[in-house]
Amino acid sequence: MGAPASFASAGKIPHYRRILLKVSGEVLAGEGSFGLDTARVQALAVEIAEVARAGVQIGLVVGGGNFFRGVAAAARNMDRVTADHMGMLATVINALALQDALEKQDIPTRVMTAITMNTVAEPYIRRRAIRHLEKGRVVIFAAGTSNPYFSTDTTATLRGLEIHAEVVAKATRVDGVYDKDPLQNADAVKFTQIGYSEVLAKNLRVMDASAVAMCRDNKMRILVFNLNVYGNIMRMAMGESIGTLIS
């Protein structure tokens, strides 16, 4: 798949000044079901780097499902709090991998963790995170909220609100929100725009209900788009009509 023309060199002005990008851990596994696909991590870093060079401030939340999820079958016989903490640590592994890949693209990057681990990353401090963004650094928020029973969707919403992002952009395997799973139903209908309350009422499961409700209560827009199309992160940042806007 060919790379898109650089929007930055074309002189276009980004639609968003600051975004919170949510990426699932499974994306980093590539075609596999476990671990890290270094080629996929590097390709994602190239896309994020181009958006950062265009002047967009990027906060990033990455899941840990490629290593461990607290609600997965492997964790069913475990204490939920313990399993969730294991999942949080998995997000740190992914965050460090992405940091390394972004820095190879000459993009200054900081990993900030909700669980203190000073030898590998900075502790999450809201004002420090905002300062990093203002200096043009990509900030990767890892280890969830540090609290069990909260997903990385909720983490993304919370961090997005805390850093005053203009949108929570959720990168998925499909090109938006549908009335049912498009990967299993050929007649699924896509929404180009939909309200928070309708997402909750229809139980569309695009994000955790708590995350959608938090966005609704704080008027934070959610944009759901397909990460598997090269250039979509830039298209989203430039305000092109892709995916589904929840507002």
pLDDT along the chain (247 residues), means of 10: 45 91 92 90 97 97 87 75 92 97 98 97 98 98 96 96 98 91 88 95 91 96 95 96 95
Say how far apart CA 132 and CA 127 lie, in whole Å: 9
Residue 212 tokens read as 């959608």
Kindly report the pTM of this predicted structure.
Answer: 0.92
pLDDT of 11 reads 64
The whole-number pLDDT of residue 75 equals 64
In angstroms, the CA 32 to CA 39 distance is 12
Give the type of residue at 102. L
Neighbouring C-beta atoms of residue 195, cutoff 10 Å: 12
**pLDDT score recorded for residue 69:** 74
Q: What is the CB neighbour count within 10 angstroms for residue 82?
A: 12
pLDDT for residue 3: 46
CATH tag, 18-171+204-220: 3.40.1160.10
Query: How would you class 143 by CB atoms within 10 Å of its CB: exposed for 0-12, middle for 13-18, buried for 19 or more?
Result: buried
Query: Which residue type sits at 104?
Result: K
